[in-house]
Amino acid sequence: MRFSPHLLDEIRARLPVSQVVGRKVSLKRKGREYAGLSPFKMEKTPSFFVNDQKGFYHCFASGEHGDIFKFVMATEGLSFPEAVERLAQEAGVTLPKPEAHDQEREDQRTRLVALMEASAKFFEDALVGPQGADARRYIERRGLKRETLATFRIGYAPGSRSALKDHLAGAGFSLEEMVVSGMLISGDDIPVAYDRFRHRVMFPIADARGRIVAFGGRALDPDQNAKYLNSPETPLFHKGHLLFNAHRARAAAHDKDRVIAVEGYMDAISLSEAGFVETVAPLGTALTEDQLKLLWRMAPEPILCFDGDSAGKRAAFRAVDTALPHLQPGASLSFAFLPDGLDPDDLVRQQGPSALETVLGRARPLVDVLFEREWADRDWSTPERRAGLEKTLKGLIGKIADDSVRTHYRQALGERLAAAWGTAGGAASGGGYGRPNAGGWVQGGRTARTMGGKPGRRAFGRGTFPPGLGDGTEHLNASSSLRKSALVAPDGGLAPPRREALLLKVVLNHPWLIEEEAETLADLYFTSSALSRLRDAILSAHAIDNLLDTERLRTHLNKSGVGGVLTLVERAVSHKCDRFAEPGAGRTEVEDGWRHALALHERHVGLQRSLEAAEQAWHEDRSEASFARICDLKRQLELMSNPDSLGPGAGPGHTP
């Protein structure tokens, strides 16, 4: 269902952000805002702020920002329609009725949900009845507690071919509904439809709202064909879109900032019973893209827990391939491998929960698992094989859609490759045929900066940088005069870019801008980590004291430990075109200058990202078109580095 902006605004108007957030976060009023500890990151000092007037929250610890709908989605693992439905009910807002065909579909879903609920109750009753003796013995052997049986609503499907069918018919459900729900098996070659699940321990499968939509059954007869059997695809159930136990795990996952994915629902139940409530499981399939997205809504770096045998490794490698195209800054996977011969349930029962915590604590990042898959147990003694590995790794890196993550993977895999070849004797013996670096591939563990042993000449060919691109390391050998110049910060790092410092100088000298531009300021991308810290401190100060003047703001900043960055800003910004940033500038001049500086900054960020993409393209295809694109982008960036281009007379597309 699509929701109109008017409807969403009405819900927002009835539910202050502080009311919705306050259920999860202890908030204290700070002026016109509320402050509290981040629900997204562990912290001791409040960096999470809520503004009812503007209708948003902002977390400086994690960068999370949004309204009531996004908060509920992030903290409860709901989809957008589910969040709207939840908050509309709380706000007393009536959602529009679906159209006729939608209503028919919704009526069918309502009936099927009721049928699945009736089936679950039937299985629960059968478990405690005379027919459930075998199932009870199995459960006793697994050591499940009575409370666990009730929590997960575990039951028993009798061995009769029509036990459930007869029960549901007596409850008023039609044969067609039973077939559509997947609880009966029927077909042209089957004279009489019969129960799908027979003589099995039954595990209900719920959707994100906790409604039972399917079942999994564990065979009690060793001669049965399928040890585990799941419901088929139905109007309610799409196994690649759900995770077992997700509706129970999401609150614990949010509280612990961790979600664990195991291979089977029996493992998920056992771990939950042992205190790992944040555990989920896919439903008899390899992890899908939709399931990955569900996991990332629960925690930024889910831990996938696999058996340590070859089958577990293969499952992990499949998950790597599924995840690669969807990696985002701050969103990845970790992999925990169990001791050989043990599944999570065995480990916890034999060695206790602390043993599993140890395994989880040793979880390995996705990049390590990816590299191990391509590197391990192979002979890389020839140049051709090494070139083949380089090509394979480049291809895998190319699958990553996000530019920033792709760049960091190129660096990380390059470091691992160089280290591995070094320990194998390759780099040490002059055989290091190439490792990836920020801009390309590096020879023998060092940047290819010379050719023929003569300093000052740059090799240009496979594994090196095109002329003029640089590898980002030139400043490491800066002269003593450069290190003393205004281009270098007091701590030895490069001084912040002038265009970035200019934006903060405007705010420092004209704090009234913060009230109007808080969201814009919060979303600004700074290449300088020092300026990012200063920006965050400015917004925190404003949240605490929204009547700031320049003197009070600087006092706050000095107390926050970023006073030294103020000096960097002053040193970086002193050009004649910067008058609008000075204390004496008028309001109109400040507003015009701010908008212009902001537009230039955004253009520069866009050009820089385009340059990174162009460099990647050049390293992959070595085409003249790619090289020409790089030169054009570098020319545009060089023109923008002219101080006069920051003046109010130059628009975003201005060429001095």
Q: How far apart are CA 527 and CA 404, in angstroms?
A: 12
Helices 366-375, 383-398: crossing angle, 10 deg rounding: 150
Q: Tell me what pLDDT residue 547 has.
A: 63
Query: Is the confidence at residue 574, as pLDDT, over 70?
Result: no
| DSSP symbol at 288 | P
The dihedral sign for the CA sequence 121, 127, 128, 130: positive
**293-318: average pLDDT:** 89
Q: Tell me what pLDDT residue 423 has.
A: 55
Q: Tell me what pLDDT residue 1 has.
A: 58
Instruction: Name which residue leads in pLDDT, 462 or 307.
Output: 307
Q: Tell me what pLDDT residue 495 has.
A: 58
- Reported confidence tier of residue 291, pLDDT bands at 50, 70, 90: very high
For the stretch 60-100, pLDDT in tens is 888 888 899 999 988 887 888 889 999 999 988 888 876 66
Averaged confidence pLDDT in the chain? 81
Q: Tell me what pLDDT residue 433 has.
A: 38
Highest mean pLDDT among 29-38, 381-390, 625-634: 381-390
Q: Tell me what pLDDT residue 159 has.
A: 94
CATH topology of domain 241-371: Dna Topoisomerase Vi A Subunit; Chain: A, domain 2 (3.40.1360)
User: Tokens representing 118?
Assistant: 């009736």
User: Tokens representing 293?
Assistant: 């997205």
What is the domain partition of the chain in residue ranges?
5-91, 100-237, 241-371, 498-646
Query: Is the confidence at residue 517, as pLDDT, over 90?
Result: no
Lowest mean pLDDT among 152-156, 325-329, 437-441, 621-625: 437-441
Query: Is the confidence at residue 33, as pLDDT, over 50?
Result: yes
pTM, full prediction:
0.58
- Reported confidence tier of residue 273, pLDDT bands at 50, 70, 90: very high
Q: Tell me what pLDDT residue 100 has.
A: 62
Query: Is the confidence at residue 102, as pLDDT, over 50?
Result: yes
User: Tokens representing 256?
Assistant: 């612990």
- Residue 304 contacts residue 335 (beta carbons within 8 Å): yes
Cα-based distances in Å from 442 to 326, 390, 406, 436, 468? 27, 11, 17, 6, 16
Domain formed by 5-91, architecture: Alpha-Beta Complex (3.90)
Q: How far apart are CA 346 and CA 143, in angstroms?
A: 11
**400-425: average pLDDT:** 83
- Reported confidence tier of residue 237, pLDDT bands at 50, 70, 90: very high
Cα-based distances in Å from 480 to 68, 260, 476, 494? 53, 51, 11, 13
Q: How far apart are CA 244 and CA 279, in angstroms?
A: 9
Exposed, middle or buried, 505 (CB in 10 Å: 0-12/13-18/19+)?
buried
Instruction: Name which residue leads in pLDDT, 484 or 355.
Output: 355
Q: Tell me what pLDDT residue 545 has.
A: 67
Q: Tell me what pLDDT residue 171 has.
A: 96
Query: Is the confidence at residue 572, as pLDDT, over 90?
Result: no
Closest by CA to 325, choosing from 282, 284, 286, 370, is: 370
Instruction: Name which residue leads in pLDDT, 619 or 57.
Output: 57
Q: What is 100-237's CATH number?
A: 3.90.980.10
What string of DSSP letters covers 381-395? Answer: -SHHHHHHHHHHHHH
For the stretch 492-511, pLDDT in tens is 344 577 888 889 888 888 88
Lowest mean pLDDT among 207-216, 281-290, 505-514, 635-644: 635-644
**603-617: average pLDDT:** 79
Domain 5-91 identical in fold to domain 241-371: no
User: Tokens representing 203?
Assistant: 């595990």
Backbone conformation region of residue 470, classed left if phi is above 0, alpha if psi is from -120 to 50, else beta: left
Q: Tell me what pLDDT residue 460 has.
A: 27
Q: How far apart are CA 217 and CA 123, in angstroms?
A: 11
